[in-house]
Chains A and B, each alone.
Chain A
Amino acid sequence: MKVLGISAHYHDSAAALVIDGVPACAVQEERLSRRKNDAAFPLGAIEWCLDHAGLEPRDLDAVVFYERSMRKFDRILTSALRTFPHSWRSFPHAIKNSLGEKVWVRGIISSQLGVPRSKILFTGHHQSHAAAGFLTAPTSRAAILTADGVGEWATLTVGQGERCPGRGASITLRREIRYPHSLGMLYSTFTAFLGFAVNEDEYKVMGLAAYGRPTMTDAVRKLIRSTPDGAFALDMKYFEYQTTARQSYSPRFVELFGRPRNPYEPIDLETADGRRYADCAASVQAVLEDTLVDITRALHRETGLPDLCLSGGVALNGVANARILAESGFERVFVPSAPGDAGCALGAALYADRVFLGNPDRDVPDHPFWGPAVDSRELAQAAREDDQVVEELDDAVLVERIADQLAAGRIVGWMDGASEFGPRALGHRSILAAPHSREMRDRLNRDIKYREEFRPFAPVAPAEVADRYFDLPPGGSRLARFMSGVFPVRPEWRSRLAAITHVDGSARLQTLERGMAPRLYQLLEAYGRRTGIPVLLNTSFNVAGEPIVNRALEGYSTFRRCGIDVLVAGSTLVTKRASPAHRVKEEVA
């Protein structure tokens, strides 16, 4: 049976194809359209999925959209009514936005793909999140928690999942917290207040938090209070996201936390304002973690299960995830590679396959590599035409050469096989570098990523030896599989892993098993033989403001315009030649 899942229209649209119960492919639209966080209907992603599987739209048994668009519209309209007359500015925009396209999903899918309307199904937004977390995790029974900004009405749900191999699977979401009370919106409001882009830069708040002290948690707790039943509620007089799209915090919020940061003003931690911003980030981070730990503790007591599946945009918060693992009582915490809305495409397809169509449950391969594969010939051709040094090498030779380059302090663009599904580069579209010195971190920030100094870089290490360098609690290695947890670097290694050790001594580690990315694993081993430390700095292969590269040519254009020294795609190795830039200008001038 062939089921296509689609997520679209809010942020990070994607398509995923499930064939006979197993994912065949999945890709975010942004990777193909090259528009970061592309929210458009993912026609490119759908076409790629169908082409990849050799299918026509008529071959599909079902097309599943990841949320119920009319229920979402109900929430938008009801919110406008509840905040009447203050919502007068946002109302026209919200209505035009919804009625312009978003509520007509069935018609859009039917007309774009030419599939009968009877084949088009809908799952709930948080059901899709839950399925993305639970049905891709190697567990048969688990508690489930989903949390994000908002879906239709729900902003956080808890429940339980059960899989019976050979039979079906069930996901039962028991209760929810509803809009406007939302952990995701609370965090996003601080993201906006701190001058970062909402729905995109929340991880910068997490990075900044390490530089601050949670001195303002009392103030944050004025914004969010616990309810007697163990949930939470926001005090809406501090927020404006219900009444205007322009600003999510109110003047009272500003009275409490001071002047918001101007987005173009660099954060200088030497100044009082800079420290205040860092303290704000630390405080909201602490309250978020406390709230999630309280909820997951209660969920553990209620279900008595050892496993927890976390999903939704909030599950991208690796610091909170690590605290949940350490303090909730769950032994294992699973976060999918794409916990955000893009992952809902896969979740919706799997959910419809198991629950709606009643197909038997099957194990899902435990890796994130569901996207388009890289074509090394494409790279070789473009680089040769551009007069670069191109070599075709055997795997073993190539790995040794790259290990030499990394040990010599060179920065490597690494493209291997199918691209990752989700926001993290997990070894198939990565920039790799030696993790030992602060100079390397500064060079990457300055010459390649063009980003703020306070943002840390992540390490990748073989799963078998990661515990030697990082203080992993039980279950930590699993959480680090898709870079979903932040853990302390062991103190004795911090000076030798300075490029990936954050200011608070932590790192967002990826633990790698040989089977998941064999070539990168070999590279880690080869690098370890040279330096004694089989750990590499692994950051996503993109520059600020762009999606992670997908095709070899995109990797090449990124390589050409930033400080990457060496580029690898499959068996092709390109070494940057000094400044061919002016030659072409002179040639045509």
Chain B
Amino acid sequence: MAVQQGTRLDRLLRPVHRWVWGSFDRRVRKLIAFSQVEGDGGRDILRAAELTPDPLLRRLYLEHAIDELRHADLFRRRSAALLRLRSTRSTALFDSSPLPGGHGLDDLSIEGEPDHRLLAFLHVAEKAAAGRFAIYRDVVADDPPTRAIFEEILRDEVFHMNYTYTQLARVLPESYRRRVWQARASRLWKRYLRLAAAVADVLGSVLLTVVYFVALAPFAWLAKRAERREAAGWKPIAQRDNEPSASQY
């Protein structure tokens, strides 16, 4: 199975990717984010290896997990090497990245998932990641060590894409193609849910911030006054507080 250069959207966004990777700080940030995402992905797949009843899949998942953990290490080492080249003082560099990562937008659920669903999911996720990595490889042409990492990872991704597909066909010969489509749909649905949750989170924050400034001011004055009257140091503990009870307060 050949690696395609990302989705059509990714290809259209190639100038944006070039801009993202063109900055030293953003490049380091992306590499660190990839390291974390690959590491988390590796641990998830490791969990799949520990849970699957299928001996062949156990061995394949294990090799896959080892690859992912190695990728995490490659990204981590490269980001550390770049940092050594130019010590940065920007703490903002290490805030969570808003940029899409290798498998960063995918939720991998392991516990209780049948192998066929996991394989379909992995296949779709690996294919998408490989496409994106192919674009990244091209836009970091000015940085041969980073490019070499993407090339190495892409070789592994081809194996991951292939084995997940062939094993899916083995464990679910009658409907494996349908499973792949379902995995794609499920991925889109999860993205929608994540977006909806993020929007709800922002709305909740805005509402609570309004409440904070509008409703809390008088209570804040009372709380501050009470605090000023409170001496520092030991506070006695009331005997009733030593009793367990049915009260949460």
The interface of chain A, by Cβ under 8 A from chain B, is 33-34, 64, 68-71, 74, 78, 80-82, 84-85, 87-88, 91-93, 95-96, 103, 105-106, 118, 120-124, 127, 154, 157, 159, 171-178, 181, 227-233, 259-260, 262-266, 348, 351-352, 355-356, 382, 385-386, 450, 545-546, 551, 553-554, 557, 560-561, 581, 584-585, 588-589
Instruction: State A120–B227 Cα separation when bound (angstroms).
Output: 33
Residues in A whose Cβ lies below 8 Å from that of B94? 262-264
Contact across chains for B244 and A355 when beta carbons are under 8 A apart: yes
Residues of A within 8 A of B58 (CB): 382, 385-386
How far, in angstroms, from A232 to B234 measured CA to CA in the complex? 8
B202-216 at interface with A (beta carbon < 8 Å): 204-205, 208-209, 212-213, 216
Cross-chain contact B248 with A259 (CB below 8 angstroms): no
- In Å, the complex CA distance between A470 and B86 comes to 44
CB atoms of A81 and B47 under 8 A apart:
no
Which chain A residues border B79 with CB–CB below 8 Å?
A: 264
The distance in angstroms between the C-alpha atoms of A504 and B213, with both chains bound, is 52
Q: How far is the CB of B235 from chain A (nearest CB, A)?
A: 5
User: With A92-B209, A177-B235, A561-B69 in contact, do A69 and B248 touch (Cβ < 8 Å)?
Assistant: yes
- Most chain B beta-carbon contacts within 10 A, residue among A74, A348, A561: A561
Closest to B28 in A: A264
Are A84 and B224 closer than 8 Å at their CB atoms?
yes
One of B12-20, B126-134, B161-169 contacting the partner: B161-169
Of A95, A122, A266, A589, the contact of B245 (CB 8 Å cutoff): A122
The proximity string for B residues 31-62 relative to A, scoring 1 for CB distances below 8 Å and 0 otherwise, is 01000000100010011011000011011101
In the complex, are the beta carbons of A81 and B223 less than 8 A apart? yes
Q: Mark B186-230, 1 if CB is under 8 A from A, else 0.
A: 000000000000000100110011001100110110111001000
B50 engages A553 (CB within 8 Å)? yes
Task: Give the complex CA separation of A528 and B43 in angstroms.
Answer: 37
Q: Name 10 extra pairs, CB < 8 A, besides A85-B212, A124-B241, A231-B232.
A: A34-B50, A71-B248, A74-B249, A121-B245, A127-B244, A173-B242, A175-B234, A348-B244, A356-B244, A386-B58
Q: State which of A84, A175, A560 has its C-beta within 8 Å of the C-beta of B217.
A: A84
A92 near B212 with CB under 8 A, answer yes
A303 to chain B minimum Cβ distance, whole angstroms, is 15
A123 and B244 in contact (CB under 8 A), knowing A88-B213, A561-B66? yes
Residues of B with C-beta under 8 A to A231: 232-234
**Is the Cβ of A84 less than 8 Å from the Cβ of B244?**
no
Is A91 within 8 A of B209, CB to CB? yes
How many contacting A-B pairs (Cβ < 8 A)? 182
Cβ–Cβ < 8 Å partners of B66 in chain A: 560-561, 581
Known: A177-B234, A264-B79. A34 touches B43 (CB 8 A): yes
CA distance A551 to B50 in the complex (A): 9
Q: Is the CB of A81 within 8 A of B234?
A: no
Q: Is the CB of B80 within 8 A of A266?
A: yes
- In the bound complex, residues from chain B placing their C-beta under 8 Å from that of A385 are 55, 58-59
Chain A: minimal CB distance from B238 (Å): 10
Residues of B within 8 A of A (CB): 32, 39, 43, 46-47, 49-50, 55-56, 58-60, 62-63, 65-66, 69, 73, 76, 79-80, 83, 87-89, 91, 93-94, 111, 159, 162-163, 166-167, 201, 204-205, 208-209, 212-213, 216-217, 219-220, 222-224, 227, 232-237, 239, 241-249
Which residues of the partner chain B approach A78 to less than 8 Å between Cβ atoms? 223
- Asked if residues A561 and B236 are in contact (CB atoms below 8 Å), the reply is no
* Residue among B58, B201, B213 with most chain A CB within 10 A: B58
Minimum C-beta distance from B132 to chain A (A):
23
Contact status A96-B83, CB under 8 Å = no
Considering the chains assembled together, what is the distance between the CA atoms of A173 and B236 in angstroms? 9
Select one of A181, A264, A382, A585 contacting B83, CB under 8 A. Answer: A264
Q: How far is the CA of A123 from the CA of B245 in the complex (A)?
A: 7
The listed residue (B88, B208, B224, B245) touching A82 by CB distance below 8 A is B224
- For the complex, what is the distance from the CA of A545 to the CA of B39, rounded to whole Å? 9
> Closest A-chain residue to B51, C-beta based?
A553
Closest beta carbon of chain B to A198's beta carbon, Å: 14
B residues less than 8 Å from A106 (CB atoms): 248
Docked-complex contact B60 and A584, CB < 8 angstroms: yes
Q: Which of A69, A92, A546 meets B208, CB within 8 Å?
A: A92
When distances are taken between beta carbons in the complex, the residues of chain B under 8 Å from A554 are 50
Closest chain A residue to B217 by CB distance? A84
A584 adjacent to B59 (CB under 8 Å): yes
**Beta-carbon contact of A92 and B245 below 8 Å:** no
A172 in complex: contacting residue of B91, B162, B224, B242, CB < 8 Å: B242
Quick check: A262 and B88 within 8 Å, CB to CB? yes
How many Å from the CB of B232 to the closest CB on chain A? 4
- Sample (24) of A-B pairs whose CB atoms are under 8 Å apart: A33-B111, A34-B43, A71-B249, A80-B212, A81-B219, A85-B213, A92-B209, A92-B212, A121-B246, A175-B235, A176-B237, A227-B233, A229-B234, A230-B234, A231-B232, A262-B94, A264-B83, A266-B80, A352-B244, A557-B46, A557-B50, A560-B66, A581-B63, A589-B163
With A84-B224, A122-B248, A229-B233 known to touch, is A355 a contact of B62 (CB < 8 Å)? Answer: no
Nearest CB to that of A74 among chain B residues? Answer: B249
Q: Which residue of B lies closest to A71 (CB)?
A: B249
B62 adjacent to A557 (CB under 8 Å):
yes
Report the bound CA distance from A182 to B242 in whole Å. Answer: 21
Please give, as numbers and ranges, the residues of chain B lying within 8 Å of A175 by CB-CB distance. 234-237
Complex CA–CA separation, A84 to B83 (angstroms): 38
Partner of B216, one of A81, A551, A557: A81
Identify which of A173, A229, A584 contacts B237 (C-beta below 8 A): A173
How far is it, in angstroms, between the C-alpha of A140 and the C-alpha of B154 when the chains are bound?
64
Q: Which residues of B contact A181 (CB under 8 A)?
A: 232
A68 in complex: contacting residue of B50, B163, B166, B247, CB < 8 Å: B247
Q: Across the interface, which residues of A come within 8 angstroms of B162, CB to CB?
A: 589
A265: B residues at CB distance < 8 A = 80, 83, 87
What's the nearest-Cβ distance from chain B to residue A555, in Å?
10
Q: Which residue of A lies closest to B31 (CB)?
A: A264
In the complex formed, the residue of B with least CB distance to A352 is B244
Q: In the complex, which of the residues A82, A118, A584 contacts B63, with contact meaning CB atoms closer than 8 Å?
A: A584
Tell me the smallest distance from the CB of A407 to a CB of chain B, in Å: 30
How far is B93's CA from A178's CA once the two chains are assembled, in angstroms? 35
Residues of chain A within 8 A (CB-CB) of B163 are: 585, 588-589
Are A561 and B62 touching (Cβ within 8 A)? yes
CB distance from B95 to the nearest CB of A (A): 8
Quick one: which of B93, B216, B233, B242 contacts A127, CB cutoff 8 A? B242
The interface centre, meaning the residue of B32, B58, B201, B241 with most chain A CB atoms within 10 A of its CB, is: B241
Q: Are A355 and B243 in contact (CB under 8 A)?
A: yes
B87 CB, min distance to chain A CBs, angstroms: 7
CB B248 to nearest CB in A, in angstroms, measures 4
Are B80 and A557 in touch, CB under 8 angstroms? no
Find the B residue at minimum CB distance from A382: B58
Name the CB-closest residue of A to B231.
Answer: A227
In the bound complex, what is the Cα–Cα distance between A589 and B224 (angstroms)? 69
The reply to whether B65 and A561 form a contact with Cβ atoms under 8 Å apart is yes
B237 touches A174 (CB 8 A): yes
Please tell me if the beta carbons of B32 and A264 are within 8 angstroms of each other in the complex.
yes
Q: Shortest Cβ distance from B155 into chain A, in angstroms?
A: 11
A450–B241 CA distance with the chains assembled, in angstroms: 45
Chain B residues whose CB sits within 8 angstroms of the CB of A120 once the complex forms? 246
Is the pair A91, B245 in contact by a Cβ cutoff of 8 Å?
no
Instruction: Tell whether, in the assembled complex, residue A262 and residue B47 are in contact, meaning their CB atoms are under 8 Å apart.
Output: no
